[in-house]
Structure 1
């Protein structure tokens, strides 16, 4: 079996969320007991908790919902690029060392030495020009190990608007702490949530050889 890297953070009641977003909550609707053969729970959460794929509906009133996203961008060869300590934005200079003629259509950028356990209001984000230049090279999906491809306090969401205009897909809140820089197979399929603005994913990387 090929080696796997689980790049999804744990989701639980204390999982960090964007301020004002709906945190993960769980309650038990049924529990194992005489006359009840199963445990059954109900969960409440924002679809942006944990590793997730934004749908165009998140940043475009006329955009597609998560359930309408094509799956192909979320499955296939990808490159993990380390840009540790870049702040506040991932500029082209931070990733140029890993961009060449063999660049896959999926790019995930690591910015943290270790993913934080609490909300990080100073998270690193993509510079809009960096996403433009990746799109120019045929990239279909960009990912990041922070909660957003835009700064946490942004009101214009310039990088989200680039992916809207260039028709790219995005993964956020990945955990890349233990992943060496290099090429992998990405598997991070969104759920078929027909009206949602995002979807949780169980994101994994698989070694190519």
Structure 2
């Protein structure tokens, strides 16, 4: 079996969420004991907790809910690119080294690109200074045929952004997005991505169990 990298951070009561968003909570509706053969819990959480896929509905009032989005973007060849220490925005010069050619050889850029910006992804505290994508970088990736971008920070836009230019760029260009990935142990390179959202028919996002597998 090919090696698997689990790129989903743990989801629990310590999982950071955007300030004001719904934190993870779990209560037990039933527990194993006399007269009860099973444990059953109830979970409350933001669909943006942990590794997740945003739906167009998240940034477009008339956009599709996550359960209506085609799944093809969330499975297939992808490239992991390191831009650690890039500063507040991932600019083109931070990822240009991983485009086709040079040390990367003749392999064309896959349709999915995941960018690692953290040496260690914050898993228990929200990063108000989270690195995000420059919208110009998103547009250039779209020009190259990319249909999904991902990042190990909580958003492709700065935490204090109100205009959300990178989200608006993926809206305009029809891209899909994964956020809050855990890429700490993933070398740069090409992989198979599998990160399927749940079929929430009215939700603005969905958690994913995202994995990478090494290509043959």
TM-score (normalizing by structure 1): 0.99
What secondary structure, in the 3-state scheme, does the structure 2 residue paired with 1:152 have?
coil
Q: How far apart, CA to CA, are the structure 2 residues paired with 1:86 and 1:151? A: 13
Where 1:29 maps in the other structure, the secondary structure is strand
Q: Deviations over 1:46-81 (max 9, x none)?
A: 000000000000000000001001000000000000
Please state how far the C-alpha of 1:43 moved relative to its aligned partner: 0.2
Match runs of 1:90-109 below 5 Å: 90-100=90-100, 102-109=108-115
Aligned to 1:206: 213
Query: What's the RMSD between the two structures over aligned residues?
Result: 0.6
Name the counterpart of 2:159: 152
The answer as to 2:70 corresponding to 1:63 is no
Kindly report which structure 2 residues correspond to 1:188-203, keeping only aligned pairs within 5 A, or say none: 188-203=195-210
C-alpha distance in 1 between matches for 2:26 and 2:70: 30
Of 117, 128, 136, which residue of structure 2 is paired with 1:121?
Answer: 128
Q: Which runs of 4+ in 1 moved over 6 A?
A: none
List gaps (5 residues or longer) in structure 2: 101-106
Q: CA deviation at 1:94?
A: 0.1
What secondary structure, in the 3-state scheme, does the structure 1 residue paired with 2:212 have? strand
Match of 2:104 in 1: none
Q: Which residue matches 2:31?
A: 31
Partners of 1:126 and 1:99 lie apart in 2 by 16
